[in-house]
Amino acid sequence: MYPIVDLVECQTIAAVQSEHLLDDAIQSDVNIIFLLTGSIFNIKQLVDRVKAANKHVFLHMEFIEGIAPDKSGVAYVAQEIAPTGIISTRSNLIRVAKDLNLMAIQRIFLIDRNAVSKGLRVIEQTLPDAVEIMPGLMPRVIREMTDLTPLPIIAGGLVDTQEEIEQALEAGALAISAGSKDLWFTTEKVSH
């Protein structure tokens, strides 16, 4: 079993795209926050606020201003920021994070059949803790991905309603990352 499965207590993950929404995410029902905002000047403070609320936090390496999405950037994040883990579209960063004992979520965009095949090859090589597939509105593709890989699937992107969350979960997703704060307060607990 993958350790991230044990972290997920709520089926919705707060994808925080603006610093002013962080308080809402911290006060919400979710127990995992994806930070897609911040800079080298405030990211440690933001991460510490999430951790102080007893929630897990993953940083999207390509969205943190002033921290390069490269080997040194991941090493800096691991040593100085200490989030639960990172999210990245770059497979080399997933490997670096794993070597530094950070959890790692590989984000892939499934735009066509070729992207699915390429994405599967990438995750077989990097063995992230989970895969975030985007967009998250495709129950048939989510089901297919869960059949093609043993890795936990997180669906994200363009998810706007509770019904879309339920459809993705029924298709086999472990959790759904959502940017809409309204969805952070309507989540159900996961039973392990």
pLDDT tens-digit map of 8-47: 999 999 999 999 999 999 999 999 999 999 999 999 999 9
Under CATH, which architecture does the 3-175 domain have? Alpha-Beta Barrel (3.20)
Burial 64-98 (b: 16+ CB within 10 A, else e): beebebeeebbeebbeebebbbbbbbbbebbbbbb
> What is the model's pTM?
0.95
The percent of residues above 90 in pLDDT, for the chain, comes to 94
Per-residue pLDDT, 126:
92
pLDDT tens-digit map of 121-136: 999 999 999 999 999 9
Per-residue pLDDT, 164:
94
CA–CA gap between residue 165 and residue 178 (Å, rounded): 9
Calculate helix-pair angle for 113-126, 91-99, nearest 10 degrees. 20
pLDDT band at 5 (very low <50, low <70, confident <90, very high): very high
**Residue ranges per domain, the chain?**
3-175
* Residue 187 scores a pLDDT above 90: no
